[in-house]
Amino acid sequence: MQKLILIAAAALLATQASAGVRIETITRNIETKVADGGPQVVMVQDGWIRTTNAKHSNGIILKDSKVFVLDDQRKTYMEMDKATMKKTADQAGAAMKQLQDKMKNMPPEQRAQMEKMLGANMPGMMSGKTPKFEVKDTGKSDTSEGRKCRLWHLLKDGVVNEELCVVPFSSMPGKEDFQKTFRELAESFEGMTSGLPGAGDSITARNSIDGYPVRIRPFNEAGKPRGAESVVTKWVEESLPGSTFEIPAGYTKKEMPALSR
């Protein structure tokens, strides 16, 4: 009898350990609702995270305070801990400063071309001024894919930059501590982007919201949604094999590239 109880307890623990969560998000045109490629998939279990993207041949594993960046096309991966992230961010910041100094001495036409090419992708790059990001609860609610969510605004220098429709972590399926897990993921990206003016601040601001955005819409200067929105289409509890969070067989480790002039 005692042996049967032990076997049953072991089976229960095994079942609990294998219960993970799968989240699928698509990017689609706000007006036409036509998706741009397949879904981005986030899998969470035991505090570990694995992301895959159907459009790009890469993925990320967050495990034991380390980030593994996968290149599925080349079958390689890079490993980063907090120290590596800080070093990479410092190198990016130094390279950014060099480029800013160089652009000051460029002919007007060449400078304008560089500003057009880089300005939209690197906030604060051209002016050297770091933009200020903050979030604001609008007090309004909406529905996304059948989920009721609270509307928040991400402000950039006081102007609405994005609208986030947020649900409480406790309302989503799964037994994970989602707030802690996703905060660690956000902090990892914050560490990797801290060398870019404003990028880390944007992540910090988003991370201060108590919940998960099931829909994100960028806003234009007129304060209206524009372009493509990111929408969660599936959030389910399912069993995930341990191999989900391991480096795939046959992948070789690649060292982080050093930034140069």
Q: Report yes or no: 226 and 161 within 8 Å, Cβ to Cβ.
A: no
Position 191 scores a pLDDT of: 61
- Which residues are 215's β-sheet partners? 165, 231
79/246 Cα distance (integer angstroms):
12
Query: 101: which 2 tokens?
Result: 């100094």
Shortest CA distance to 44 belongs to which of 53, 54, 36, 52?
52
User: DSSP characters for 76-144?
Assistant: EEEEE-HHHHHHHHHHHHHHHHHHHHHHHTS-HHHHHHHHHHHTTTSTTTTT-PPPPEEEEEEEEEEEE
The interaxial angle of helices 178-193 and 82-104, nearest 10 deg, is 40
Position 56 scores a pLDDT of: 72
Shortest CA distance to 14 belongs to which of 6, 2, 3?
6
Position 158 scores a pLDDT of: 92
Position 5 scores a pLDDT of: 32
Position 179 scores a pLDDT of: 76
191/189 Cα distance (integer angstroms):
5
45/55 Cα distance (integer angstroms):
24
What are the φ/ψ torsions at residue 115 (nearest 5 degrees)?
-65, -40
| Alpha-carbon distances, residue 109 vs 38, 115, 116, 126, 249 (angstroms) | 39, 10, 11, 15, 50
Centre a 10 Å sphere on the Cβ of residue 19 and count the other Cβ atoms it contains: 16
Shortest CA distance to 160 belongs to which of 133, 189, 186?
133
The per-residue pLDDT string of the chain (261 residues; one tens digit each, 9 = 90 and over) reads 443 333 333 333 333 444 789 999 999 999 999 998 889 999 999 889 999 987 777 899 998 888 899 999 899 999 988 777 777 767 776 777 777 778 778 888 887 777 767 655 554 555 556 788 999 999 999 999 999 999 999 999 999 999 999 999 888 888 777 877 877 777 766 666 555 555 667 778 888 898 999 999 999 888 889 999 999 999 999 989 989 999 999 999 998 766 554
140/37 Cα distance (integer angstroms):
31
Question: Pairing mode, if any, of strands 228-239 and 19-29?
Answer: antiparallel
- Which residues are 49's β-sheet partners? 44, 62
What are the φ/ψ torsions at residue 15 (nearest 5 degrees)?
-65, -40
At the topology level of CATH, where does 21-253 sit? outer membrane lipoprotein receptor (LolB), chain A (2.50.20)
All structural domains of the chain with their residue ranges: 21-253
